[in-house]
């Protein structure tokens, strides 16, 4: 575990430190596209954050290669080299797209080529454990086709959900943390060395996202762009393929008693078809809904619009930060719930807990105007919008353009509203009472 923590910390540090210079480079290179109709941010923001994330990936793999307890991962497996090759190719395509806006079909072809590069170097699905049946071996072309499909679907799912500040990086970070727990348990709990590469990929991916998030949280100073979203999608898919298609169920069967029981016990996150639906269920659902919605309208499935799940959260009244936190909540509930169920499939308390948490999530969805209030003793530690308003106290207006405060025209009685205020004061009052609902996206 110490080796993984060291690798994660190095990846976080390198990604975080590189993001600042990359932002300056993106501004100098002109990678700041104009505001588009589907965007929710107000000002042009530099992209190319994927450059820093790719640097963190390379640093994490380099450090892991020099750790004693991880020598076998690189010596006995070609998967780290396959991942790095595919990641470099998809990252290059993303950088070109962030700068020149290349065609969607060209990007799709590049994604398939990157997946094919990883398949050619041995990162492919060899068999599928089927509940009640056992292990089903795949032919070479079946395994390769399934691998390419899983990589392409995961890349586009993560790319589609990248629409608000910190959304894609945070969701992938949460799901990768859940995946790391599962993969590490497979390696340490069952002694399956084939799960070690997947554990390493997950740890590096968590570090990439954590290092980038401080620069990408609302209001974002830089976007990861396609160079980042496609990169983390590929790394997530590589970890899924590594553990689902290459870990021998016979090793698990030796621990639990029979192969059929082993497959049944691990089915929530073990099958390649179910895995992306549980670990990245929210991005996959957004991807499917987007394809159906655009096809129904007679548009291309790759045509951009403002109908994604995070856009709908903003439309029903949620603020930018609340929309992101709700997406975090559902991602964590599904990912960690699936991993928890795979560990304690026979426990009856897991399902009621998940149901209760789902009900809490639905309440959060249906109450966009609800704003929690901090207790009196904690008001000095939270933003003003979470503090209790003293009766008769007027909201503080925002500063004017020259840096001075905009004064009130007349005192306004509590409950009257903002009709008696001047324009700047009215805006300040609305933001204090309702929260700033205009978000930014990447």
pLDDT score for 434: 45
Q: 50 with 223: CB under 8 angstroms?
A: no
In a domain, 6, yes or no: yes
pLDDT score for 246: 63
Q: 228 with 49: CB under 8 angstroms?
A: yes
Q: Which residue has 């999608």 as its token pair?
A: 233
In a domain, 318, yes or no: no
Residue where a domain terminates, one of 254, 272, 290: 272
For the chain, the residue count is 442
Q: 139 with 168: CB under 8 angstroms?
A: no
Q: CB within 8 A of 403, min separation 6: which ones? A: none
Given a cut of 50, the residues of the chain with pLDDT beneath it are 268-269, 271-273, 275-276, 395-396, 398-442
Burial class (CB in 10 A: 0-12, 13-18, 19+), 441: buried
In a domain, 105, yes or no: yes
Shared domain for 50 and 184, answered yes or no, is: yes
Shared domain for 223 and 86, answered yes or no, is: yes
pLDDT score for 50: 93
- Give the count of domains, the chain: 2
Stated as kind and residue range, the H or E segment containing 211 is: helix 196-216
CA distance 166 to 68: 35
In a domain, 344, yes or no: no
Q: 214 with 38: CB under 8 angstroms?
A: no
Q: 431 with 312: CB under 8 angstroms?
A: no
In a domain, 406, yes or no: yes
Residue where a domain terminates, one of 257, 272, 287: 272
In a domain, 126, yes or no: yes
pLDDT score for 73: 85
* Centroid of chain to Cα 182: 18
pLDDT score for 273: 44
CA distance 212 to 273: 30
Q: 151 with 256: CB under 8 angstroms?
A: no
pLDDT score for 407: 44
In a domain, 164, yes or no: yes
Of 218, 127, 221, the C-alpha closest to 438 is 218
Shared domain for 53 and 190, answered yes or no, is: yes
In a domain, 328, yes or no: no
pTM: predicted TM-score of the whole model, two decimal places: 0.73
Tell me the three state secondary structure of residue 349. coil
Number of H helices, E strands in the chain: 18, 2
CA distance 110 to 168: 21
pLDDT score for 432: 40
Domain limits at 98?
2-34+42-272
pLDDT score for 259: 52
* Centroid of chain to Cα 167: 6
Residue where a domain terminates, one of 215, 238, 272: 272
């Amino acid at each position: 575990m110490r080796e993984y923590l060291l690798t994660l910390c190095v990846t976080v540090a390198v990604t975080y430190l590189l993001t600042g210079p990359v932002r300056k480079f993106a501004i100098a290179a002109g990678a700041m596209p104009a505001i588009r109709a589907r965007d929710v941010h107000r000002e042009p923001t530099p992209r190319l954050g994927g450059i820093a994330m790719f640097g963190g990936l390379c640093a994490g793999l380099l450090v892991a290669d020099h750790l004693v307890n991880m020598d076998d991962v690189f010596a006995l497996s070609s998967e780290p080299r396959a991942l790095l090759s595919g990641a470099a190719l998809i990252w290059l395509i993303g950088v070109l797209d962030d700068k020149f806006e290349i065609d969607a079909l060209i990007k799709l072809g590049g994604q398939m080529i990157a997946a094919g590069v990883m398949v050619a170097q041995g990162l492919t699905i060899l068999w599928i454990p089927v509940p009640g049946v056992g292990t089903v071996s795949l032919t070479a072309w079946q395994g390769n086709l399934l691998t390419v499909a899983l990589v392409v679907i995961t890349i586009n799912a993560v790319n589609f959900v990248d629409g608000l500040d910190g959304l894609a990086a945070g969701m992938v970070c949460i799901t990768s943390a859940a995946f790391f727990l599962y993969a590490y348990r497979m390696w340490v709990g069952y002694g399956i060395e084939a799960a070690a590469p997947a554990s390493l990929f997950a740890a590096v991916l968590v570090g990439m996202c954590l290092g980038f998030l401080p620069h990408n949280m609302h209001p974002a100073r830089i976007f990861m762009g396609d160079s980042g979203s496609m990169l983390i999608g590929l790394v997530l898919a590589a970890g899924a393929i590594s553990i689902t298609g290459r870990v021998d169920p016979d090793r698990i069967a030796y621990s639990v008693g029979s192969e059929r029981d082993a497959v049944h016990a691990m089915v929530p996150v073990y099958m390649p078809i179910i895995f992306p639906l549980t670990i990245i269920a929210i991005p996959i659902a957004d991807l499917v809904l987007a394809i159906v919605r655009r096809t129904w309208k007679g548009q291309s499935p790759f045509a951009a619009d403002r109908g994604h799940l995070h856009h709908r959260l903003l439309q029903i009244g949620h603020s930018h930060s609340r929309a992101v936190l709700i997406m975090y909540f559902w991602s964590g509930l599904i990912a960690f719930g699936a991993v928890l169920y795979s560990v304690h499939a026979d426990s009856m308390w897991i399902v009621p807990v998940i149901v209760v948490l789902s009900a809490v999530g639905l309440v959060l969805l249906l109450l966009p105007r609800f704003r929690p209030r901090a207790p009196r003793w904690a008001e000095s530690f939270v933003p003003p919008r979470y503090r209790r308003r003293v009766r008769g106290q007027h909201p503080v207006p925002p500063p004017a353009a020259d840096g001075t405060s905009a004064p009130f025209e007349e005192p306004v009685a509590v409950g009257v509203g903002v009709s008696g205020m001047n324009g700047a004061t009215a805006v300040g009052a609305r933001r204090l009472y309702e929260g700033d609902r205009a978000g930014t996206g990447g």
